[in-house]
Amino acid sequence: MSGTLFVVATPLGHLGDLSTRAAETLRAVAVVVAEDTRRSRPLVRDAGGKARLLSYHAHSPPSRLDQILEILRAGDDVALVTDAGTPTVSDPGAALVAAARQAGCSVAVVPGPSAVTAALSVSGFPADRYRFLGFLPRKGADREALLTEAATSAVTIVLFEAANRLAPLLDDLARVAGEERRVAVARELTKMHEDVRVGTLGEVAVYYQAHEPRGEVTVVLGGAGPRPTPAVDEAAARAEAQRLLTAGATRRDVARALMDTFSLTRNAAYRLVTSLE
């Protein structure tokens, strides 16, 4: 039988956030696959694990993926961890999970910390629905398209960004979404210098122009809210409905025409037609 690939969430910063089950898993597996073994080795050691560590990141050769699959096929369990938080969220772990499933290996999750949900929880913005856009491209049409998507989204948006590129991101968001849009910047979550700054894009952008940010950054952008319903030219709609009825159109056809031309709801269109008869 093949081994199991455990997708293990690890602390964002505070080591007390490592769950009992995560520690048990790190002690039990034969191999820990890490984005950066230098960062993960102390965590595995502190959990009491003696597993072999293998690096797996965006620049790993295809042979490393094959090597990990061979370990699983041989019957050994493997833990996948990222530098901080939940693996496969803005890191290359998703490719390993997909390959393991395709190879017929079991995949299990050991849930825990996530910068996305942690930042949402302290932002004060609605999180019943939200969109996660990860790291935006540094420039070009793809960046502009995602900036526009963030600016026009009716729901909360979550972004990741490197500290040295936070100020340009806030400037770009203010340009497309307006300086009054609310934003929360969460830095160094659960660490000694944790900081969550909430305000308008204009206010927060000015702050980080004067104060160089450091550490891990998650940006939560408030939603644009529902789009306003366009006003209906009722006089024009009534005139068009009368014209169609006089020409012999049925009430059903007239109502459909009003829905298409004036963006009326079905009920509103039928009420208008009925009022003319």
250-276 burial, b if ≥16 CB within 10 A, otherwise e? ebeebbebbeeebebeeebbbebbeee
Q: Tell me, what's the pLDDT at 210?
A: 93
Q: What is the DSSP letter of 227?
A: P
Task: Give the C-alpha separation, 58 to 35, whole Å.
Answer: 8
pLDDT tens per residue across all 277 residues of the chain:
899 999 999 999 999 999 999 999 999 999 999 999 999 999 999 999 999 999 999 999 999 999 999 999 999 999 999 999 999 998 889 999 999 999 999 999 999 999 999 999 999 999 999 999 999 999 999 999 999 999 999 999 999 999 999 999 999 999 999 999 999 999 999 999 999 999 999 999 999 999 999 999 999 999 997 665 667 788 899 999 999 988 889 989 999 999 888 888 889 888 899 998 6
Task: Give the C-alpha separation, 105 to 82, whole Å.
Answer: 20
> Domain spanning 116-221 has what CATH number?
3.30.950.10
* Domain topology for 4-113: Cobalt-precorrin-4 Transmethylase; domain 1 (3.40.1010)
Identify the three-state secondary structure at position 130: strand
Task: Give the C-alpha separation, 75 to 78, whole Å.
Answer: 10
Cβ-based neighbours of 183, under 8 Å, separated by 6 or more: 170, 173, 198, 199, 200, 201, 204, 219, 220, 221, 222
* CA distances from residue 168 to 86, 162, 177, 178, 188 in whole angstroms, order as listed: 27, 11, 14, 15, 19
Q: Tell me, what's the pLDDT at 122?
A: 97
Tokens of 182: 């609310």
Task: Give the C-alpha separation, 193 to 157, whole Å.
Answer: 24
Q: Tell me, what's the pLDDT at 228?
A: 58
Closest-CA residue to 147 (of 219, 244, 226, 243): 219
Q: Tell me, what's the pLDDT at 39?
A: 92
**Number of other residues whose CB lies within 10 A of the CB of residue 152:** 12
Q: Tell me, what's the pLDDT at 230?
A: 65
One-letter amino acid for residue 49 of the chain = G
